[in-house]
């Protein structure tokens, strides 16, 4: 699968919002990894979270859904993007 860059800057739209919500909830990347692991999402690691937040990793649709669940938000909220 070929992942494209949005505006030649990012490979995803949700990373910025994931970081904002994680920080608002006073969660470190490790905390979010643990929360994901407890729900059975062991592939959501600190490294994955960091790459998504930095926009250097593509995010599959099912992963967006998982992050919405973990951060108690909606898909629409995660996909809003402010340039």
pLDDT digits (tens, 9 = 90+) for 11-69: 999 999 999 999 999 999 999 999 999 999 999 999 999 999 999 999 999 999 999 99
- Phi/psi region, residue 5 (left: phi>0; alpha: psi -120 to 50; beta: rest), is beta
Q: What are phi and psi of 68, to 5 degrees?
A: -60, -45
């Amino acid at each position: 699968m070929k992942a494209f860059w949005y505006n030649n800057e990012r490979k995803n739209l949700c990373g910025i919002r994931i970081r904002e919500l994680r920080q608002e909830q006073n969660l470190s990347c490790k905390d979010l990894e643990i929360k994901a692991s407890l729900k059975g999402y062991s592939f959501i690691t600190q490294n994955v979270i960091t790459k998504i937040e930095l926009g250097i990793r593509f995010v599959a649709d099912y992963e967006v859904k998982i992050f919405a669940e973990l951060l108690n938000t909606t898909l629409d909220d995660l996909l809003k993007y402010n340039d």
